[in-house]
Structure 1
């Protein structure tokens, strides 16, 4: 069995080789806006590359390999139902060989077999004067190849972290290149058409480029043979698909159950993503089912016997997003028995969405540190301020506190009114997380002093805050809906941290830290008074440390 990763790479690299050739061809056409001589000058350089023995091997080898892999991909599909962009790429891909046959016969084969003139002037004369239909065919071929290649490049690049920033520029380039090529081609044709008004020049050119009837018949035969061969190959693949389908029917079927209660029956060998598409069930798949983006991932409930082993490709992608053991890629999962799946991402997820590369989407229990902070008596303060003053004040406060948290290595989870929730140790572990949380509390205290100095003219009294920090197990994952999805944490440890922050009001201190935080951080907090408290929802008492100012931790 062919390695899927090697097949994908071969298809990508062969496609990029052909796309490079098409791009150079279009740029060469665009030089017609300068002059036919400029077109010819570039062609002379390009021909030395592509018409050399290595260039010929690379170019035609890439063409044959790409067509072969496209036929293989068509055979492997269990369903021809697919997104519109993917369908357009597929149709254009199989249209190109039929268009290319005529172009090859009238250019490369004509030159090689019958010593034709391969200058731009000769080609433009033929396309615009002797055989305008060939000129139209040339433009249609290049644009079809360009669109096909652009879709493929988009699929291969869209998961790169830098792609969203360049997407607009690349789209503009995608439109600009063929437009300039067509304009250059037309301008070059107009220039040659002007020359062709001279009857003597026209007669000499026609005599020089004329082919014998036998040569024309031979080239037409080659065109028919190339098109016929391609048609036979496509029909053979479609026939093999029908044979495979009948054979698989004898093996039986399996059922996929979805959260909305639908149960879809499919033939063995069909992927879960293909099942969704056949049943018109919306299912995310940014990379088009190539096993690269992880957006089609699903939570699976099924006996082990119904699930095939993870391939290297699927294992690599799932490891990248830290997926749970019961999560699989729908595009790679071809079950051998009934199963229940829950898609983990919204069908509308896009390339730029953080969920695409998220390591927390499925949720997991982790030991982390949680910090809550709140401004004291902010309601009374807000009542004396105009709305835009309140917004300005809060934004300055959030900026200072956010910088303190992120500077210490934490993650701002959310802003709640005038409060802040932050997580520490989500990636680094609870020990590093507790140390970072204490460092953040000290930095927040120091930044608050600076903020009060800056805003002294706008405040009747300095801002005061309360901070509570606790550590323990919590469920961490991406939660929310639509654009409000973010990594957050829930659980007893989160509730406890929130209650410690509330207790700072009664204790008259800026910071309360649980003994768990001090222990995991290996911090000596013995100089601060300790006490045992009962926290609502907890059975065991909790030992805490009351610290007058967060900045005291640096002492």
Structure 2
């Protein structure tokens, strides 16, 4: 059984976006118009006249009704098309629930205003609406409030899901959040203020009678016809929603009974039957295999990307949308978006991002080495000497205070020199240099960092002198060479790090500073990579535990006395 691909076509997505934007502009201007009610019902009436001139014009009417129809059709088809509702994110669930709720409250409001105006010759002004919801049918005030908030929140969620991958939008996110709160707040304030004013005016029976008569509301057969329109619209809408869910159930039932067309083999060795017309992402979700997808399979985010093994050449080429996203993240030729790839033969796939950790930040360009690469880098380890003895007689608060001051000073020196702090381990620090810019730059930056750490330690000891029985002493080990670089870890602890012999050697050099009574042990490999001629310290060969070959190093008593590696740049 072949699945429909409709919602993944560029035309379908464009129709959904444009129709949503039209409806959002209408809702936003409608709510802002409500806010005028804070001043007076008269000004609200006047602004409503201008609002009506714009949105009741033939072009705007066609755009509004057409946009609503398209948006509703797209939403119902998305329900029919979705294989699993369990994999929906909370924002998507909220958006869908609000979207299905809006017509329930909108039908009465639309028939009671626009339909009466265009088909029955009534004058449904703001005065008429406020009298209806605050005087004649008070529970409609709650309905109007729910409709107002549901429409606005639904639109804001849609805009956020659409724009969240754009750096410009994320940069101004606090501003958009403020606007998202202010607009409905002012609208509700205007709605309530004008409603209270109308209730006060309605205490004058003569005014009330004359005002109601001016509305020219339908009576008798016309009224029955208007009420019939309300009932027909409500039952028609309920029928469409039920049909969408029922059709989806039938489609999934038939899908499960049909034989799979091809087989997807995952990196874990798991094999899953795949049916023609489905994307890799849909097959994963239907089989219950966790798969990252921040945008929900719309081809916007790139977090569902997979590396294709066997079967790569049999895949259809990427669409314009997929190619654009893959180019943005710098993906190689064997990487595809799972939500946009429709296999027709057996293939092997490896998801590249963990499903529980993928985020919007993963949608931009990401360095290749994050997935794992061997690179020539420089690694620095530092540790406080005798820290256990130093803290034995101290309160926990004092220990934490001293450590945080130390980490702050050392961290600043490392980052100022262009290093990347890998982790803090107890009272130790691990930092990486040259991942992005090469080992030559990394070597110079690491030496500059050690120099800065020595200088900062001196200032820190002067600052903490009244609180310390003896100055803080540190040991630093620096070594360079090939290491495996990539993102490692689990959930919140996942991050960029390095492993390998170079890392182990740097750690051993740091440990040997205590034995040799120096502040820094710097490997000659790093000095050579930096292109420096260094006279500081004694040049020796030492044995590092766990390593057969001896390491040629420089023993530096005071790192602050190192020459500036950038002075010749």
Tell me the TM-score normalized by structure 1. 0.81
Q: 1:223 to 1:530 in 2, by over 3 A?
A: same
> Which of 295, 298, 307 is the equivalent residue of 1:287?
295
Matches within 5 A, 1:99-498: 99-128=105-134, 138-156=144-162, 158=164, 181=187, 184-185=190-191, 188-208=194-214, 209-211=216-218, 215-216=222-223, 235=243, 252-256=260-264, 264-297=272-305, 302-304=310-312, 307-317=315-325, 328-338=336-346, 347-349=355-357, 359=367, 362-383=371-392, 385-498=394-507
Partner Cα distance (2:101, 2:78) in 1: 16
Deviates more, 1:173-182 or 1:43-52: 173-182
Gaps of 5+ in 2: 1-5, 565-569
- Secondary structure of residue in 2 paired with 1:402: helix
Q: 1:430 to 1:61 in 2, by over 3 A?
A: farther
Deviations 1:225-251 (A, max 9, x none): 766886787648975996798699778
Deviates more, 1:473-482 or 1:29-38: 29-38
Partner Cα distance (2:311, 2:33) in 1: 59
For the pair 1:70 / 2:78, whether they are aligned, the reply is: no
Which position in structure 2 is the counterpart of 1:18? 23
- Secondary structure of residue in 1 paired with 2:498: strand
Q: 1:540 to 1:89 in 2, by over 3 A?
A: same
Deviates more, 1:296-305 or 1:487-496: 296-305
- Secondary structure of residue in 1 paired with 2:432: strand
Partner Cα distance (2:456, 2:373) in 1: 33
Deviates more, 1:485-494 or 1:90-99: 90-99
Across the aligned residues of Structure 1 and Structure 2, the Cα RMSD in angstroms comes to: 4.3
CA contact (8 A) 1:324 1:362 kept: no
Q: 1:72 to 1:366 in 2, by over 3 A?
A: farther
Deviations 1:96-150 (A, max 9, x none): 4565444333323432444432421122234455666766654443343233223
Partner Cα distance (2:95, 2:396) in 1: 53
How far residue 404 of structure 1 moved from its aligned partner, in angstroms, is: 0.5
> Which of 46, 59, 65 is the equivalent residue of 2:51?
46
Partner Cα distance (1:483, 1:250) in 2: 41
How far residue 42 of structure 1 moved from its aligned partner, in angstroms, is: 3.6
How far residue 194 of structure 1 moved from its aligned partner, in angstroms, is: 4.6
> Which of 90, 97, 115 is the equivalent residue of 2:96?
90
> Which of 513, 524, 528 is the equivalent residue of 2:533?
524
Deviations 1:11-56 (A, max 9, x none): 3454234223223333444554554234324424434543456644
CA contact (8 A) 2:123 2:217 kept: no
Partner Cα distance (1:421, 1:210) in 2: 78
Partner Cα distance (1:36, 1:441) in 2: 71
Deviations 1:136-195 (A, max 9, x none): 654443343233223323423555669889889977876776576556545544543454
- Secondary structure of residue in 2 paired with 1:457: helix
How far residue 215 of structure 1 moved from its aligned partner, in angstroms, is: 4.9
Partner Cα distance (2:11, 2:531) in 1: 49
Q: 1:4 to 1:517 in 2, by over 3 A?
A: farther
Deviations 1:412-457 (A, max 9, x none): 1112222211011222232222221121112112222222222333
Deviates more, 1:518-527 or 1:214-223: 214-223
Partner Cα distance (1:493, 1:325) in 2: 31
Gaps of 5+ in 1: none
How far residue 499 of structure 1 moved from its aligned partner, in angstroms, is: 1.9
Q: 1:479 to 1:163 in 2, by over 3 A?
A: farther
CA contact (8 A) 1:249 1:267 kept: no
Partner Cα distance (2:164, 2:240) in 1: 32
Q: 1:436 to 1:192 in 2, by over 3 A?
A: same
Partner Cα distance (2:272, 2:345) in 1: 12
Partner Cα distance (2:546, 2:326) in 1: 36
